[in-house]
Amino acid sequence: MHEFIQYIQSYLRPNVTVPPGAAPNGGNIFWAVVYILLVFAGVSLGVICMNWLERKILAHMQVRLGPMRVGPHGLLQPIADAVKLLIKEDIMPAEADAVVFWVAPFIVVLAAFTVFVVVPFGPAHAITDMNIGILFMLGVSSLSVLGIVTAGWASNSHYPLIGALRSSAQMVSYEVAMGLAVVSAILMTSLHGLGLYGVGGPDASGTGTLSMIGIVQMQQEQHVWFLFKFFPLGLIAFAIFAVAMIAETNRAPFDLPEAESELTAGFHTEYSGFRWSLFFLAEYSAMIAVSSIAVTLWLGGWLRPFPNALSGHTWDLIFSFFPGLTFLFLAGMCAYNVQRMPKHPFFKIQTMGLAGFGAVLGLIGLILFIPPVRDRVGDIFWFVAKVAAFMYLYIWYRGTFPRYRFDQLMKVGWKVLLPIGLGVLILTAGAGIVGLSLSQPVTH
């Protein structure tokens, strides 16, 4: 019993800098399991938040109110939706291929959630660290297309089949451009120079890494986010990825596999109830997953802004207040809206609910100010904040761009993104070689 407690505590020491799954001697299985549960719960919570935020933000972009009835400002709407989906009748078409129809949603959900095994929320805050991290993420997330294709085929219906064909063509095409953009970022991990153009630095040549944690550490060592490295090459590679990741997750303006005006609902037309909600869950968690790839590769992962330029104890302290301040800001928003709620007795329960929600947010904010908590959650906060920015962009795109035609989609993928990606890759390698030769020591 005593040994077991020691085993659990061994991961809690402040000097632990590796994730529980990757610690020496087989890692710490207990904490790995805890992290798996935490990440699963966190991603599911993120999906619930996204559900509410997407409806509210889209509504406000279109000068509507969005959900207002269930809970104050519709805050309980996602829960009501989830309950509705769970108790809905589950229909399977009579001519459908039962086994494949049953398996398809699980393939999609498994692929969407398995990738989070390597997502680094912090140097020690990941389930595990794999030497092939980014390769694992791309590979497993590409498996989700299998689920979509089989779902469309097993429904034995025309719209789903067309949707599945579209989605597989789209995802396979954009995987190429995505891969090229990722390779150019991985290439940057091996060019050890400092700053924007990688000139100078300790040792200009070296091996790169595919590990998600390693990639972020390389950005820290090179004093630059890969977004700005070899400016504007990193920026272009990031732009290619940013377009390709929307096509990969089948989101507007590339949501042709489920274009409702042409295909009713695309590959999941015949799905209802719980199975449909699995597709929904998988789509949103895949969005979070590809956003976290982008954040890790180009935006410095868990690093706070300016970790090198504004270094030192004072700046660390100032930046460590951000998580708590964010929650206090949200609590303040709640308080402001409590005061704005209609004074009619009919709204009394709603007002009390909103006040309670604000109180919980404020309490979380205060907890985040406690020094040990503050030190521990800073990296998670910055990672989640960057991912949240991407999630907002997803909603913004959906509210802004009209849907592309399929031939336009293919043209963008193969004739625009692919050549530019190849060019950026070659230029990155060239810039690396130039930087390498400039910074060679002149002793020989």
- 279, 250 in Cβ contact below 8 A? no
Q: Which residues bind another protein (CB under 8 A)?
A: 22, 25-27, 97, 99-100, 103, 130-132, 135-136, 138-140, 142-143, 145-146, 149-150, 152-154, 161, 164-165, 168-169, 171-172, 175, 207, 210
Residue with structure tokens 């095994």?
Answer: 117
- 200, 439 in Cβ contact below 8 A? yes
Integer CA distances (angstroms), 196 to 200, 208, 231, 432, 433, in order: 11, 17, 7, 11, 15
Minimum separation from the CB atom of position 58 to another protein (A) = 31
Minimum separation from the CB atom of position 365 to another protein (A) = 38
Cα–Cα distance, 442 to 334 (Å, whole number): 62
Minimum separation from the CB atom of position 162 to another protein (A) = 11
At how many degrees (to 10) do helices 313-320 and 322-340 cross?
Answer: 30
- 241, 386 in Cβ contact below 8 A? no
Minimum separation from the CB atom of position 197 to another protein (A) = 24
Cα–Cα distance, 323 to 302 (Å, whole number): 13
Compare residues 282 and 391 and give the one whose CB is closer to another protein: 282
If you write DSSP's letter for every residue of 159-170 in order, what string do you get?
HHHHHHHHHHHH
Burial class for 391, CB neighbours closer than 10 Å (0-12, 13-18, 19+): buried
Minimum separation from the CB atom of position 377 to another protein (A) = 27
Compare residues 120 and 324 and give the one whose CB is closer to another protein: 120
Compare residues 103 and 385 and give the one whose CB is closer to another protein: 103
Minimum separation from the CB atom of position 101 to another protein (A) = 11
Compare residues 59 and 210 and give the one whose CB is closer to another protein: 210
Minimum separation from the CB atom of position 416 to another protein (A) = 19
Closest by CA position to 248, among listed 112, 421, 110, 401: 112
Compare residues 54 and 129 and give the one whose CB is closer to another protein: 129
Minimum separation from the CB atom of position 260 to another protein (A) = 22
Region of 266 on the Ramachandran plot (φ > 0 left; ψ -120 to 50 alpha; else beta):
left
Cα–Cα distance, 395 to 393 (Å, whole number): 5
Cα–Cα distance, 192 to 208 (Å, whole number): 9
Compare residues 206 and 273 and give the one whose CB is closer to another protein: 206
Burial class for 80, CB neighbours closer than 10 Å (0-12, 13-18, 19+): middle
Minimum separation from the CB atom of position 105 to another protein (A) = 14
Cα–Cα distance, 337 to 432 (Å, whole number): 53
